[in-house]
């Protein structure tokens, strides 16, 4: 199909990468983002070769790599600090690393600039007020009183997607796993040149983000989903890892001092088993398959969704065929990521059998290397 006008609801990782992919196919794209400041929190994200491949396809890989820290190994440690596995990671694009650690703000800047540069109309501080799909198009009114008509609406509005709620009010709600994550940025130490993942009930990871910066994540069982006071976050995070014997971790604990720089998040998941579209409204990213971060692939899946959707729109003669084929191409891959990530999570907190992280990580690298 040619000459489609497309509204994307949500200016996050999935919304922006799909906007870039769709603009590159020649479509007219509008992105609306609820947050008037278009802000992103300050820690980082891990991405693997399939994302580097996707960024290459989007024509922005060099900007992306320069904004982050490329690496080619994942090391698994036990809590004493002993390295028990050193996993070489496959490179999927010649001349580029197998993985990237990147600050969320740095990634957002690259994607936001490229989205605008590609010609998308980005409107901030806006949500959908009403949507009427009459079969020939979707008439939308916005929270500022303006209106538009589109051939296709894409809900890339995250885990608590309003678009999903509108088209599938009976879809399953996000579920809390019983585990939460604590994150904090540090000055990068010279030994952190790849992901260092510590196994245990309290999982820890050190991730390089740039020459200067790295971040630590700490996953902890939180069965009752407690609310921690903002002014206690640094001391609570310190307490959570006070007994981890690794000297490398202990050297960092004392640096966790700024409450407002601790990013605490209860981990939730959601997967939509049924269709991923209704009429001319489709969903992608966390709106339809939100995973726990144990394999570092949530954003990767959202980015791949946008590429596949753009390809299918070009290839198909009608919207319904394109959207059905898009979902078919994405379904098993996304389900694998959600299920495998959740299995690691549940194993860590005693809700399921313990999963060997090194084995699961190796398998994930093989799976995501497959073409999308």
State which of residues 4, 6, 7, 12 lies at the interface with ligand FAD (CB under 6 A).
Answer: 12
Q: Cβ distance 249 to 77 under 8 Å?
A: no
Pick 91 or 321: Cβ nearer ligand FAD: 91
**Pairing verdict, β 128-133 and 152-155:** unpaired
Torsion of CA 290, 332, 207, 45, to 10 degrees: -40
Contact with ligand FAD (CB under 6 A) among 49, 98, 103, 158: 158
Structure tokens at 20: 């870039």
Contacting ligand FAD within 105-134 (CB under 6 A): 127
Which residues contact residue 27 at a Cβ distance below 8 angstroms, ignoring those fewer than 6 apart? 3, 4, 5, 6, 310, 313
Count of residues making up the chain: 372
- How many residues make contact with ligand FAD (CB under 6 A)? 31
* Residue number, 20 or 287, with CB nearest to ligand FAD: 287
d(CA 135, CA 317): 15
Ordered alpha helix ranges (H), the chain:
13-24, 49-57, 61-67, 104-117, 162-167, 233-241, 247-253, 298-315, 319-348, 357-369
Helix, strand, coil fractions of the chain, as percent rounded to 5:
35, 30, 35
- Which residue is listed with tokens 């694998």? 336
- Does residue 45 interact with ligand FAD by CB under 6 A? yes
- The span from the CA of 261 to the CA of 219, in Å, is 17
Closest separation in Å from C-beta 127 to ligand FAD: 4
Task: Please pick, from the candidates 4, 7, 19, 46, the single residue that binds ligand FAD as defined by CB under 6 A.
Answer: 46
Does the footprint of ligand FAD cover residue 156 (CB under 6 A)? yes
Interface with ligand FAD (CB under 6 A), residue from 34, 329, 351, 367: 34
Q: Which of residues 252-271 bind ligand FAD (CB under 6 A)?
A: 265
Computed on alpha carbons and rounded to an integer, the radius of gyration of the chain in Å comes to 20
**Could you say which residues in the range 60-99 bind ligand FAD, by CB under 6 A?**
none
User: Residue 10, interface with ligand FAD (CB under 6 A)?
Assistant: yes
Strand partners, 281: 153, 278
Task: State which residue, 169 or 353, has the beta carbon closest to ligand FAD.
Answer: 169
Q: Is 71 helix (H, G, I), strand (E, B) or coil?
A: strand
Nearer to ligand FAD, 109 or 321 (CB): 109
- Binding track over 277-316 against ligand FAD, x by CB under 6 A: --------xxx-----x--xxxxx-x--------------
Binding ligand FAD by CB under 6 A: which of 4, 6, 8, 9? 9
Tell me if 180 contacts ligand FAD by CB under 6 A: no
**∠ Cα 291 109 111 (to 5°):** 60
203 binds ligand FAD (CB under 6 A): no
With binding defined as CB under 6 A, does residue 15 bind ligand FAD?
yes
CB of 44 to ligand FAD, least distance (A): 7
Whose CB is nearest to ligand FAD?
A: 12
- Alpha carbon of 267 to those of 122, 191, 279: distances in Å? 30, 29, 31
Q: Residue from 4, 13, 100, 337 that binds ligand FAD (CB under 6 A)? A: 13
Residues within the interface to ligand FAD (CB under 6 A): 9-15, 32-35, 45-47, 127, 156-158, 162, 181, 265, 285-287, 293, 296-300, 302
């Amino acid at each position: 199909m040619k000459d489609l006008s497309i509204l994307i609801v949500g200016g996050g990782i999935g919304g922006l990468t799909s906007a870039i992919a769709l603009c590159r196919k020649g479509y007219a794209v509008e992105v609306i983002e609820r947050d008037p400041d278009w802000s992103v929190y300050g820690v980082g994200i891990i991405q693997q070769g399939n994302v580097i491949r996707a960024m290459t396809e989007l024509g922005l890989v060099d900007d992306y790599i320069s904004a982050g820290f490329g690496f080619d190994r994942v090391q698994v440690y036990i809590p004493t600090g002993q390295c028990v596995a050193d996993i070489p990671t496959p490179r999927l694009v010649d001349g580029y690393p197998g993985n990237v650690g990147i600050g969320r703000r740095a990634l957002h800047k690259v994607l936001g600039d490229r989205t605008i540069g590609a010609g998308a109309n980005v409107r901030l501080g806006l949500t959908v007020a009403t949507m009427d799909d009459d079969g020939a198009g979707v008439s939308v009114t916005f929270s500022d009183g303006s209106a538009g008509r589109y051939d296709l609406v894409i809900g890339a509005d995250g885990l608590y997607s309003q678009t999903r709620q509108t088209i599938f009010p009976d879809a399953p709600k996000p579920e809390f796993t019983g585990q939460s994550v604590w994150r904090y940025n540090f000055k990068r130490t010279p030994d952190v040149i790849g992901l260092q993942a510590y196994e245990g009930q309290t999982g820890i990871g050190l991730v390089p983000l740039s020459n200067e910066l790295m971040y630590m994540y700490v996953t902890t069982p939180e069965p009752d989903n407690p609310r921690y006071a903002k002014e206690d976050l640094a001391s609570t995070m310190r307490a959570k890892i006070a007994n981890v014997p690794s000297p490398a971790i202990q050297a960092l604990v004392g640096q966790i001092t700024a409450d407002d720089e601790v990013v605490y998040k209860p981990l939730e998941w959601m997967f939509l088993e049924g269709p991923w579209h209704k009429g001319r409204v489709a969903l992608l990213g966390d709106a339809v398959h939100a995973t726990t971060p144990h394999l570092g692939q949530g954003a990767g899946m959202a980015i791949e969704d946008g590429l596949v959707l753009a390809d299918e729109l070009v290839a198909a003669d009608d919207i319904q065929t394109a959207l059905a084929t898009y979902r078919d191409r994405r379904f098993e891959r996304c389900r694998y990521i959600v299920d495998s990530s959740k299995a690691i999570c549940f194993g860590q907190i005693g809700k399921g059998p313990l999963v060997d992280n090194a084995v699961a990580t190796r398998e994930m690298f093989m799976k995501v290397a497959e073409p999308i």
